[in-house]
Chain A
Amino acid sequence: GEDVEQSLFLSVREGDSSVINCTYTDSSSTYLYWYKQEPGAGLQLLTYIFSNMDMKQDQRLTVLLNKKDKHLSLRIADTQTGDSAIYFCAGGEAGTALIFGKGTTLSVSS
């Protein structure tokens, strides 16, 4: 089955770029996702990328997918204090369970 690994913590200063990395094992995942969890709340989809894409940009967010290395990254440009949260990488098929990584806690200092 799918296994998803990501680093646990990242600390950046406001205005810098943040890069959160993720590796996965199952190359059959049709979609790969990034979810954001703010304190005391559920998870919300931040962005996703279709497996036949290499890159997706959405305003301050850039997702890069390296299928050969099974590596996914999320870049947040001009990071703000409001971006402080836990970010989860997830993979899976549309019709089956999503497997989540352990989450990366992003801390943004002003």
Chain B
Amino acid sequence: NAGVTQTPKFQVLKTGQSMTLQCAQDMNHEYMSWYRQDPGMGLRLIHYSVGAGITDQGEVPNGYNVSRSTTEDFPLRLLSAAPSQTSVYFCASKNPGQGFTGELFFGEGSRLTVL
């Protein structure tokens, strides 16, 4: 198993550009989520999904869109990038079922800089 795969690993954007961060997992996890990590702020939840076709907002959803058309993929879209969206983005998934500990499995992160 590859686990959680994020692409790209690095990206530089200009203000106003749009882009999509890709996330794929091969563990058949129903739950997937996106966090951003900023110095001194820890990890903050952007959006999450409890299954295909179902998404919900986290703590900091503004400026981001998500969709979940398959169990495996959970892309994060930046509609019009702003310098405040410069961050490291992590995708994470888990099996939320009974008998599981709820451990989140993380990708290696996507480092985004918006100029």
Contact = CB atoms under 8 A, between A and B. Distances in A.
Contact of A45 (B48, B104, B109): B104
B33 A102 contact: no
A100 B43 contact: yes
B33 A31 contact: no
B42 A45 contact: no
Contacts of A42: 4, 90, 106-109
A33 B43 CA distance: 14
B43 A96 contact: no
B42 A102 contact: yes
A83 B31 CA distance: 30
Contact of B102 (A88, A98, A99, A103): A98
Interface in A95-109: 95-103
Contacts, number: 61
A48 B101 contact: yes
Nearest to A45: B103
Interface size class, chain B = 20 to 34
Interface string B62-98: 0000000000000000000000000000101010111
Nearest to A50: B101
A9 B84 CA distance: 25
Nearest to B109: A42
Contacts of A45: 103-104
Nearest to A33: B103
A95 B102 contact: yes
A11 to B, nearest CB: 17
Contacts of B108: 41-42
A33 B97 CA distance: 17
Interface of B: 4, 31, 33, 35, 40-43, 45, 48, 50, 58, 90, 92, 94, 96-98, 100-104, 106-109
Interface of A: 8, 30-31, 33, 35, 40-45, 48, 88, 90, 92-103
28 contacts: A33-B104, A35-B104, A40-B109, A42-B4, A42-B108, A43-B106, A44-B106, A48-B101, A88-B42, A93-B102, A94-B94, A94-B98, A94-B100, A94-B102, A95-B50, A95-B96, A95-B97, A95-B102, A97-B33, A97-B48, A98-B102, A98-B104, A100-B35, A100-B43, A101-B42, A102-B40, A103-B42, A103-B43
